Structures are given as structure tokens and as C-alpha cells.
Amino acid sequence: MTPADTEIVHISQSVAILIDGNNIERSIHSETNKPNTMLNFDTLVPRLLGNRGLNRLVYFREGKQISSKLQERLHTNYHGSVRPCHKSADIPLSIKATQLSNKVDTIIIMSGDSDFVELVRHLKAEGVRVEIAAVKATTSRLLTDEADYFHEITSSDWFTLETKKPPRKKTVRSEK
């Protein structure tokens, strides 16, 4: 067979993105010192996927105050979901990753938390490619060393919500 006879083979990969929302939010806020800074999923998700297909996107977040706008946006744009967690996202995220391990080729964990090192090892032993996406300054070196690939989340991947200032009250001068 000559090079002219070979066909180009396109490999289709299925990817799940699992987000430890509290960890990523804390990381971004520590970089910006602005609590109203958020991930820009419209730029970040396509960059993480490249030419791969998105199977699932789940945003795990501790607490009950989860933005309905975030839930709606993730559902509408990525068929994603937001899962409130009783405490930390570690256990629910790990369970979901294990459940998805035989359904996807790659799992991207968005967290810099070293608690996920054992999960990464387990998933790799199951034949899943594991990638980490996180802010480099707040990411465990143990985690990045264990992963197959590290995507650095930078300032180009977030935005700051403008807070509206209340209108200034006009002072009325009384004439005497």
C-alpha cells in the first residue's frame, strides 16, 4: 500500500466534563480578588473539547444558592446540569466519574484539588483518559502529574460581572 492509497481516519472521542464548582470559583476569586468573577463557558468548553464530542457536562456545587441563570445556560448550551452537593463536591463528582467511565473516552475534571488523585488513578486503570482543567497557581502538582493532560484556566477563560451601582440620589436644596 502506498501513501496515496491510505485513507484519513477520523477518530471520534466522547468527553465528559465534571466541574468542582466551589474549587474553581475559589481559584478564580483568589486570582482576581473579585467575588463576582465567573467562568466563561462559551470560550472554555470549546477550547477543552477541541474537535471532540461532549457527552456530559455536570457542575457540582456545595450549597443551596446556585444561580438559576447558570443552570439555564449550561442546560441550553451544553445539555449540562448543575448538581447541588450537601458538603464537598468530591464524593458526588467521583461517583459520577466512575459511572461514566465505561461511557466516555475522556473525563475532564475541572478542579485543582489533590483529593482527586486517587480518582484519576482509578479512571486511568479503567482505560479512561483523564484531563485536569484548573487555575495553575491553585492546582496540586500531584494531580497534574497523575493526569494525562493539564489545561490551564487563565484570565481569558473568565469574566467579571458588572455590578450596578444604585442611582445617586439627587439632593434637593430648599430655598429659604
Residue 172 reports pLDDT greater than 60 = no
Average pLDDT over residues 116-136: 98
Strand order in the sheet with 53-62: 81-85, 53-62, 14-20, 106-110, 129-134, 149-152
Q: Is 164 exposed, middle or buried (0-12, 13-18, 19+ CB in 10 A)?
A: exposed
**What pLDDT does 175 receive?**
57
Per-residue pLDDT tens digits for 132-166: 999 999 999 999 999 999 999 999 999 887 765 55
Cα separation of 23 and 133, whole Å? 11
- Domains of the chain (ranges plus CATH)? 11-160 (3.40.50.1010)
Residue 1 reports pLDDT greater than 80 = no
Per-residue pLDDT tens digits for 96-114: 999 999 999 999 999 999 9
- The cell for 47 is 477550547
Q: DSSP assignment, residue 160?
A: E
Average pLDDT over residues 17-24: 96
